[in-house]
């Protein structure tokens, strides 16, 4: 019995999407000798941010936690010619995000409010899309169509025919549907000091994503 002949082709889908949502990533960080006090300060800072943003019409639930951790911190020092370490406290790191429909006027008010918040968060500005699932589905459809077109060309050139599709291999990896004009964390007060920081006029570039899918056909 002859071995089944197959053709394996990888298709690539590419997509450019106009972002329609603004994403502000906020980071709160502090150090305290007492674990309980570190937790209290983190909670107080987060509450301050919620109060600040609720004054702009945001629901408290719209400020969402991305990550939170408390770690012990040590510092090195020299004693009698030997290197030693001593405990200095507990460092908390709380990363949050706020998303809203893109609106430069609202963004300017948010940046102004954050720059005057006692919590003094660091922030990063990004833009994303409101319907990521639709974008992912369109990307997959394009990748499959690309694989089918390539397979048809290869089969015709080789003088064979495509029979049944045997398998579809896709990694289901996460796609980063975000563009970041400001890709690093900055202190919120820096926004207040920059020229025109409150009169925001930003036009983000399109989000560009690509993905692949591999299809396997039996050949006739």
CATH code for position 138: 3.30.110.170
Q: Dihedral, CA atoms, 201, 205, 206, 207, nearest 10 degrees?
A: -110
Residue 25 lies in a domain: yes
pLDDT at position 177 is 86
- How far is CA 135 from its chain centroid? 15
Whether residue 178 sits in one domain with residue 212:
yes
Whether residue 182 sits in one domain with residue 140:
yes
Whether residue 95 sits in one domain with residue 6:
no
C-alpha–C-alpha distance, residues 20 and 134, integer Å: 14
C-alpha–C-alpha distance, residues 10 and 63, integer Å: 40
Q: Mapping DSSP to helix (H, G, I), strand (E, B) and coil, where does residue 136 land?
A: helix
Query: How many residues can be counted in the chain?
Result: 220
**Structure tokens given for 94:** 């709380």
Residue 100 lies in a domain: yes
DSSP codes of every residue in 41-99: HHHHHHHHHHHHHHTTT--GGGEEEEEEEEEEEEEEEEETTEEEEEEEEEEEEEEEEEE
Radius of gyration of the chain (CA): 26
pTM above 0.75, yes or no: yes
Structural domain of residue 150, as residue ranges? 1-18+131-189+208-220
| pLDDT in 10s for each residue of the chain, 220 residues | 457 899 999 999 999 999 999 999 999 999 999 999 999 999 999 999 999 999 999 999 999 999 999 999 999 988 888 899 999 999 999 999 999 999 998 999 998 889 888 898 999 999 999 999 999 999 999 999 999 999 999 999 999 999 999 999 998 777 788 888 766 666 665 454 454 345 677 888 899 999 999 999 999 8
Continuous segment of H or E residues that includes residue 191:
helix 188-193
How many structural domains compose the chain? 2
C-alpha–C-alpha distance, residues 100 and 111, integer Å: 13
First to last CA, the chain: 15
Residue 195 lies in a domain: no
């Amino acid at each position: 019995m002859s071995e089944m002949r197959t053709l394996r082709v990888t298709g690539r889908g590419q997509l450019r999407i106009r972002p329609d949502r603004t994403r502000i990533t906020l980071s709160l960080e502090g150090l305290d000798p007492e674990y309980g006090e570190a937790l209290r300060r983190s909670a107080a800072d987060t509450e301050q941010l919620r109060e600040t943003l609720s004054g702009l019409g945001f629901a408290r639930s719209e400020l969402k936690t991305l990550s939170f951790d408390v770690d012990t911190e040590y510092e090195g020092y020299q004693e009698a010619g030997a290197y030693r370490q001593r405990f200095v406290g507990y460092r908390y790191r709380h990363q949050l995000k706020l998303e809203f429909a893109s609106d430069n006027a609202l963004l300017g008010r948010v940046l102004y409010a954050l720059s005057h918040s006692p919590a003094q968060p660091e922030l990063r500005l990004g833009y994303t899309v409101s319907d990521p699932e639709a974008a992912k589905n369109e990307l997959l459809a394009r990748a499959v169509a690309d694989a089918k077109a390539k397979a048809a060309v290869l089969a015709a050139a080789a003088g064979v025919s495509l029979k049944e599709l045997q398998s579809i291999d896709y990694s289901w990896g996460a796609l980063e549907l975000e563009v970041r004009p400001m890709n690093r964390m900055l202190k919120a007060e820096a926004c207040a000091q920059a020229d025109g920081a409150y009169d925001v006029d930003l036009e983000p570039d399109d989000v560009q994503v690509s993905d692949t899918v591999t299809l396997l056909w039996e050949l006739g």
